[in-house]
Chain A
Amino acid sequence: MRAEEEAQVSPGRTAAPLLEVRGIEKTFPGVRALSGISFDVRPGEVHALLGENGAGKSTLIKIISGVYQPDAGSILVGGTEVHLVTPDDARRAGVATIYQELLLFPELRVAENIFLGHAPQAGVGRIDWRAMRAEAQRLLDSLEIDDLSPDQIVGVLTVGHRQRVEILRALSHNARILIMDEPTAALTEADVTRLFDVVRRLKQRGVGIVYISHRLDEIFAIADRVTVLRDGAYVGSRDVADTNVVELVQMMVGRRLESLFPKTVAPIGAPVLEARDLVRRPLTKGVSLTVRSGEIVGLAGLVGSGRSELAQTLFGMTPSESGEIRLHGKSVRIDSPETARTKGIAYVPEDRGTQGLVRGMSVLHNFSLAALGSLSRSGFIDRAAERRMARDGVARFSVKTSSVDEVAGRLSGGNQQKIVLGKWLANNPRLLILDEPTRGIDVGAKAEIHRLMCQLAAEGVAILMISSELPEVLGMSDRVLVMREGRLVAEFDRADATSEAVGAAMMGGTSSEERAA
């Protein structure tokens, strides 16, 4: 297939740009989304787009992939100007986009997903299944992906696998330019490394890649150049070789961040949560742990190691089948989120979009959703109190929104996450379980949330934080627990929690086994 012929194209700065974006302007009713954005991507280059949520990255992508039309400016592919009016136009021009929320059809199989819309046909309007499967296999081989089969039902695949399916779909369109929006947001460390392998292979083929991410470390790991946007405006481009974190962060947020992980030591008090041999099949196999007031416990582990499952068992979503949970020393039975809430447990779920926040609801109603009990007298909601609570929340978490009646879905990821957090803090929980609290949100918001965690710890809240981002775990935790295959396999104090040790424990290296708690 064509992609392979292109493999000859040598990756290099000298080559003419594959994609060139010139002076893009876009205005939505009331909002100036983009102004004067220009950048280009050369064959075999990874060009990172950096910027806080709401900086305009997504809008820019949507313009390049033909979802929106720019008010002004031009897009050149391979040196010739193109007008992308529909996603199809972009595809034909060789531009493929991998969106943050993967657009796959769970009912369909890998091959069908890859070729949806342009399946190889035998005769008129007849899909040639054999050819389709073969093609799919060829693509898989070409990227040396051996743990996927064209016949698998996408519904049962992991996020990492699904993403690779999306990449394959892009390649099946002979894409020369690949846009990746937050590709690692939902990936485990392992999946990230796999993804990077794929990206490097694509580079070798001369595919130009536009790479959006918040994780600066990734940008330094994979990108050749980086362009920074802020508030819809072009801030500047740098060669990754000659820039550094501090500079980029500064360009992004327009100010200097004192520290990414403002961990302050809070006095650690009595145990709030004590769990003994919790069992909930299939993924919680006898877990015992303790979280004290004022303590931030980091829970590390690969996706599928049972971290979220454990959290949801503690929260009563999937009640434990055996084992004991003690709160403040008293043994309790948590059989539903309601009881968990009344017992002072709060859980900020992993997936903001589908678990944390009702996108269609106003900020006001999202804030009060988990606290309705405390806001109502004999079933009737005290609307004044509700409004007050939401206003306080917005202020306290500095949520950027026009008003509390704004529809939550319209806010940026970071602000949405703050609402999810705020909605639970409204109950003044004694135990706060955070599942990936900063996934896919920008550096600024991230820092604010971290600061907030410390503040809460200082107020004596016990915090259990699940995170796939090792630096975050190491930076924020007083203690780090490592989970693997449904069991706690290691425990580290802040002092001796090094990324090597923790990483090894996550992967199942021997070093951890000896220290296993």
Chain B
Amino acid sequence: MSATIETRAFRAPRWLKRHETLLAIILLIALVGLGLLNDRFLTLDNLLNQGRLMTEIGLIALPMTFVIITGGIDLSVGAIVGLCAIMLGYSWKTFGFPLPLAIAFALFVGGLAGFVNGLVITRVKVPPLIMTIATLALYRGLAEGVSQAHSVRGYPEWFYFLGQGSVFGVPTQLLLLVLLTVVAGVVLDRTTFGRALYAIGANETVARFSALPVDRVKLIVYTLSGLASALAACVLVSRVTTTRMDMGAGYELDVIAAVVLGGTSIFGGSGTIWGTVIGLAMIQLLKNGLALTGVKGDATIVVIGVALILSVLIASSLERRRD
């Protein structure tokens, strides 16, 4: 990820570097601490497995970072996961699509769902939060309506490779996540598109006056968000071998938590993929580590909440002391 470390060169470089290095340090301490408490935690096996389990959230967190950098938000991702899972199963079972086509169809629907969000947000100028709250209900509803609450099972073996298989011992979907993370990092850091995201988030009017294609960029970002949710849906279906309309419920908050924990400003204009990855890993490994150390699920949630607030608090207070 050395590429993405550069990303922070944007805006107030030292600030972000501090925030993320700081998070990384907190993460490291947590890891070592938990590792000492439990010998089953810091094993390659466990870590890889955790990577497998956090992939769906991770895939969505990448474009969500983009969205939030532009000063927007997308609450409909969880619902899109459900919708696309249904589309995958439904088109395969009921339309009799060959599975690869069904996957393509699911991705298409996901992209479309995101595109619709983006279209209304840019054309009708509905604030993202409002739009995506509404489509959160709508898309989930569509998933239920289309599926008539049926779940689809019995996919061909090869399909499970995506969600349960592994390449050289590394979970397939984790490789996918790493690949896309690097791509997202480079896009955000090195491309005009990435730069446009920051500009739009920092000051949309200036971006327009600077002849940046603001609306197109936003449209793309929300479409990507939908697309990633669709991809996550496919991975999830392949991992759990079935399709249900309630899949991905509540993902939106997990994703947003990872992104903001990663130092992306909810007000837009700053943030990095690198940070998001740290935030993501932090939450997942904290949950896992605590569970392995004998902390119950409910208590774990509490710790996560405290961790979320504290780490952002520490990071930003140190940052303030600097200037």
What is A's interface to B at a CB cutoff of 8 Å?
29, 317, 336-338, 340-341, 347, 349, 354-362, 365, 368-370, 372-373, 375-376, 379-381, 383, 405, 407, 423
Contacts and interface: CB of A to CB of B under 8 A. Distances in A.
A356 B209 contact: yes
Given A360-B11, A361-B198, A365-B195, A354 B190 contact: no
Contacts of B196: 372
Contacts, number: 83
B49 to A, nearest CB: 36
A290 B235 CA distance: 60
A340 B198 contact: no
Contacts of B323: 29
30 contacts: A29-B323, A317-B208, A317-B209, A337-B210, A338-B212, A338-B213, A341-B211, A354-B205, A356-B206, A358-B199, A358-B202, A360-B202, A360-B269, A361-B11, A361-B198, A365-B10, A365-B195, A369-B195, A369-B206, A369-B212, A372-B192, A372-B195, A373-B192, A376-B191, A380-B192, A381-B190, A381-B191, A381-B195, A405-B13, A407-B12
A373 B210 CA distance: 11
Contacts of A29: 323
B151 interface: no
Contacts of A369: 195, 199, 206-207, 210, 212
A372 B199 CA distance: 12
A365 B202 CA distance: 12
A337 B208 CA distance: 7
A354 B11 contact: no
B46 interface: no
A6 B232 CA distance: 73
Interface residues of B, number: 26
B206 A354 contact: yes
A407 B191 CA distance: 21
Nearest to A347: B209
Contact of A380 (B190, B209, B269): B190
Given A29-B323, A360-B12, 13 more contacts: A317-B209, A338-B212, A360-B11, A362-B10, A369-B195, A370-B210, A372-B195, A376-B191, A376-B192, A379-B191, A381-B191, A383-B190, A407-B11
Contacts of A357: 206
A362 B205 contact: no
Interface in B207-259: 207-213
Interface in B8-25: 10-13
Contacts of B97: none
A341 B193 CA distance: 17
Nearest to A316: B211
Contacts of B317: none
B38 interface: no
B191 A361 contact: no
A362 B195 contact: no
B213 to A, nearest CB: 6
A305 to B, nearest CB: 21
A349 B205 CA distance: 11
A354 B203 CA distance: 8
A355 B10 CA distance: 20
B192 A381 contact: yes
A365 B203 CA distance: 13
A359 B203 contact: yes
Contacts of B11: 360-362, 365, 407
Nearest to B192: A372
Contacts of B209: 317, 337, 347, 349, 355-356
A106 to B, nearest CB: 15
A74 to B, nearest CB: 29
Report, nearest first, the 4 A-B pairs whose CB atoms are least far apart: A337-B211, A341-B211, A372-B192, A370-B210
A14 to B, nearest CB: 48
A349 B206 CA distance: 9
Contacts of B212: 337-338, 369, 372
Contacts of B10: 361-362, 365
A340 B199 CA distance: 19
A356 B209 CA distance: 7
A423 B210 contact: yes
Nearest to A364: B9
Contacts of A337: 208-212
B211 A361 contact: no
Contacts of B205: 354-355
Contacts of B13: 405
B206 A358 contact: yes
A310 to B, nearest CB: 15
Given A355-B206, A370-B210, A379 B198 contact: no
Interface in B118-162: none
Residue in B11, B206, B213, B323 with the greatest tally of chain A CB atoms within 10 Å: B206
A355 B13 CA distance: 24
Nearest to B187: A379
A135 to B, nearest CB: 36
A355 B206 CA distance: 4
Nearest to B270: A360
A346 to B, nearest CB: 9
Contacts of B203: 354, 358-360
Nearest to A348: B209
A370 B10 CA distance: 16
Contact of B193 (A347, A379, A407): A379
A404 to B, nearest CB: 11
Contacts of B206: 354-358, 369
Residue among B12, B195, B207, B210 having the largest count of chain A Cβ atoms under 10 Å: B210
B199 A380 contact: no
Interface string B167-196: 000000000000000000000001111011
Given A355-B205, A358-B206, A379-B193, A370 B211 contact: yes
Nearest to B194: A381
A307 to B, nearest CB: 16
B65 to A, nearest CB: 18
Contacts of B270: 360
A343 to B, nearest CB: 11
A336 B213 contact: yes
Nearest to B195: A372
